[in-house]
């Protein structure tokens, strides 16, 4: 089984609310519906903000993991 690679990645390490979500909003607007996108952040508030962002705007939060103080999100752009 192969793991799908994200088409783009947003490195939001060292940024704090609301910057990661603002940057995510700008980047995801450039993608096509169905594209997989990855966000790497260090701000714990992204655990609240990014799922809400996805839910509100109709994007799919494919996965979320915490690894070595990094918050890693995979998001599929919705229509």
Q: Which of 17, 23, 61, 72 is catalytic?
A: 17
Q: 2-6, 9-13, 53-57, 69-73: which range is least confident on average?
A: 2-6
Domains and CATH numbers, the chain: 8-76 (3.30.110.40)
**5 three-class SS:** coil
Give this prediction's pTM. 0.92
Is-catalytic flag, 17? yes
The encoded tokens of residue 43 equal 């701000």
For 19-72, the pLDDT digits (tens) are: 999 999 999 999 999 999 999 999 999 999 999 999 999 999 999 999 999 999
DSSP 9-36: EEEETT--TTHHHHHHHHHHTTSPTT-E
Q: Is the peptide bond before 71 cis (omega within 30 degrees of 0)?
A: no
């Amino acid at each position: 089984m192969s793991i799908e690679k994200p088409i783009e990645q947003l490195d939001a390490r060292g940024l704090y609310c609301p910057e990661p979500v603002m940057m995510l909003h700008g980047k995801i607007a450039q993608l096509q519906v169905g594209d997989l996108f990855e966000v790497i952040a260090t701000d714990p508030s992204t655990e609240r903000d990014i799922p809400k962002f996805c839910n509100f705007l109709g994007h799919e939060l494919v996965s979320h993991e915490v690894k070595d103080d990094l918050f890693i999100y995979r998001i599929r752009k919705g229509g």
